[in-house]
A and B are shown apart, each in its own frame.
Chain A
Amino acid sequence: MNYNNLKQLDNNLWELPIRGKMKVPGRIYANKKLLQQIYRDNALEQVCNVACLPGIRKYSLAMPDIHWGYGFPIGGVAAMDRESGVISPGGVGYDINCGVRFIRTKLGIEDVKGKLDQMVNAIFREVPTGVGSRNAIDKLSYKEMKKILTGGAKWAIEKGYGIESDLAAIEEGGQLSQADPEKVSSKAMQRGSNQPGTLGSGNHFIEIGIIKDVLDRKVARSFKLKKDQIIIMIHTGSRGLGHQICDDYVHKMLMEIDKLGFDLPDRQLACAKINSKLGEDYYKAMACAANYAWANRQIIMSRVEKEISTFLRVDYADLGFELIYDVCHNIAKFEQHMINGEKEELCVHRKGATRAFGPSRTELASKFRETGQPVIIPGDMGTESYLCVGTDKAMIETFGSSCHGAGRTMSRHQALRSTNIGKVFNELKTKHIYFRAAKNKTLVEEMSDAYKNVSEVVNTMHDSGIVKKVVRTKPLGVVKG
Chain B
Amino acid sequence: MKKWNPLNHTSDYAFRVYGRTVKDLFINSVFALVESIFGNFKISDDQSTSINKAVNIESLDQETLIIDWLRNILELILFDNLIPINIVQLEIYSQNLSAQLKLTKIPVDTSYNIDIKAITYHDVKIVLTEGLYQVDIVCDI
Query: Which A residues fall within an 8 A CB radius of B?
Result: 41, 43, 67-71, 74, 90, 94, 131-132, 187, 190-191, 200-202, 240, 243-244, 246-247, 250-251, 254-255, 257, 266-268, 270, 408-414
By the criterion CB–CB under 8 Å, are A254 and B64 in contact? yes
Q: How far is the CA of A255 from the CA of B58 in the complex (A)?
A: 10
By the criterion CB–CB under 8 Å, are A190 and B112 in contact? no
Q: Please tell me if B54 contacts chain A, counting CB pairs below 8 Å.
A: no
By a CB distance below 8 angstroms, the chain A residues around B79 are 187, 190-191
By the criterion CB–CB under 8 Å, are A131 and B11 in contact? no
By the criterion CB–CB under 8 Å, are B11 and A74 in contact? yes
18 residue pairs from A and B, CB less than 8 Å apart: A41-B10, A69-B11, A70-B120, A74-B11, A90-B120, A94-B140, A132-B112, A200-B115, A202-B141, A250-B120, A250-B121, A254-B60, A254-B121, A267-B124, A411-B8, A411-B10, A412-B13, A413-B7
8 nearest CB pairs, A to B: A70-B122, A267-B121, A131-B115, A268-B122, A411-B8, A243-B117, A70-B120, A68-B10
By a CB distance below 8 angstroms, the chain A residues around B60 are 254-255, 257
Q: Please tell me if B27 contacts chain A, counting CB pairs below 8 Å.
A: no
By a CB distance below 8 angstroms, the chain A residues around B122 are 70-71, 266-268
Of A74, A131, A247, the residue contacting B112 (CB under 8 A) is: A131
Q: How far is the CA of A305 from the CA of B117 in the complex (A)?
A: 30
By a CB distance below 8 angstroms, the chain A residues around B123 are 70, 266-268
Q: With A131-B115, A240-B117, A267-B121 as known contacts, state yes or no: A68 contacts B11, CB within 8 Å.
A: yes
By the criterion CB–CB under 8 Å, are B75 and A411 in contact? no
By the criterion CB–CB under 8 Å, are A71 and B120 in contact? yes
By a CB distance below 8 angstroms, the chain A residues around B68 are 251
By a CB distance below 8 angstroms, the chain A residues around B9 are 68, 411, 413
By the criterion CB–CB under 8 Å, are A187 and B10 in contact? no
By the criterion CB–CB under 8 Å, are A243 and B75 in contact? no
By the criterion CB–CB under 8 Å, are B117 and A70 in contact? no
By a CB distance below 8 angstroms, the chain A residues around B121 are 70, 250, 254, 266-268, 270
Q: Please tell me if B71 contacts chain A, counting CB pairs below 8 Å.
A: yes
Nearest residue (CB) in A for B8 is A411
By the criterion CB–CB under 8 Å, are B78 and A268 in contact? no
By the criterion CB–CB under 8 Å, are A413 and B6 in contact? yes
What total of chain B residues lie within 8 Å of the partner, measured CB to CB? 29
1/0 contact trace for B99-124 toward A, CB 8 Å? 00000000000001001011011111
> A93 to nearest B CB, angstroms?
8
By a CB distance below 8 angstroms, the chain B residues around A74 are 11
Q: How far is the CA of A268 from the CA of B120 in the complex (A)?
A: 7
Q: Can you name 17 extra interface pairs (CB under 8 A) apart from A68-B9, A68-B11? A: A67-B10, A70-B120, A74-B11, A90-B120, A131-B115, A240-B117, A243-B140, A250-B121, A251-B71, A254-B60, A257-B60, A267-B64, A267-B124, A268-B121, A268-B122, A408-B10, A413-B13
Q: Please tell me if B17 contacts chain A, counting CB pairs below 8 Å.
A: no
Q: With A202-B115, A414-B8 as known contacts, state yes or no: A191 contacts B120, CB within 8 Å.
A: no
Enumerate B65-107 residues with CB–CB distance to A below 8 Å. 67-68, 71, 75, 78-79
Q: Please tell me if B138 contacts chain A, counting CB pairs below 8 Å.
A: yes
Q: With A191-B78, A250-B121, A255-B60 as known contacts, state yes or no: A67 contacts B11, CB within 8 Å.
A: yes
Q: Please tell me if B130 contacts chain A, counting CB pairs below 8 Å.
A: no
Q: Please tell me if B12 contacts chain A, counting CB pairs below 8 Å.
A: yes
> B112 to nearest A CB, angstroms?
5
Q: How far is the CA of A161 from the CA of B9 in the complex (A)?
A: 38
> A244 to nearest B CB, angstroms?
8
> A414 to nearest B CB, angstroms?
6
By the criterion CB–CB under 8 Å, are B117 and A413 in contact? no
Q: How far is the CA of A190 from the CA of B75 in the complex (A)?
A: 12
By a CB distance below 8 angstroms, the chain B residues around A257 are 60
Nearest residue (CB) in B for A441 is B113
By the criterion CB–CB under 8 Å, are B10 and A70 in contact? no
Q: How far is the CA of A411 from the CA of B6 in the complex (A)?
A: 11
> B9 to nearest A CB, angstroms?
5
Nearest residue (CB) in A for B140 is A94
Q: With A251-B71, A267-B122 as known contacts, state yes or no: A70 contacts B78, CB within 8 Å.
A: no
By a CB distance below 8 angstroms, the chain B residues around A250 are 120-121
> B6 to nearest A CB, angstroms?
5
By the criterion CB–CB under 8 Å, are B118 and A247 in contact? yes
By a CB distance below 8 angstroms, the chain B residues around A255 are 60
By the criterion CB–CB under 8 Å, are A409 and B10 in contact? yes
> A114 to nearest B CB, angstroms?
34
Q: With A41-B10, A190-B79, A414-B8 as known contacts, state yes or no: A70 contacts B112, CB within 8 Å.
A: no
Of B6, B13, B64, B117, the residue contacting A94 (CB under 8 A) is: B117
Nearest residue (CB) in A for B6 is A413
By the criterion CB–CB under 8 Å, are A247 and B71 in contact? yes
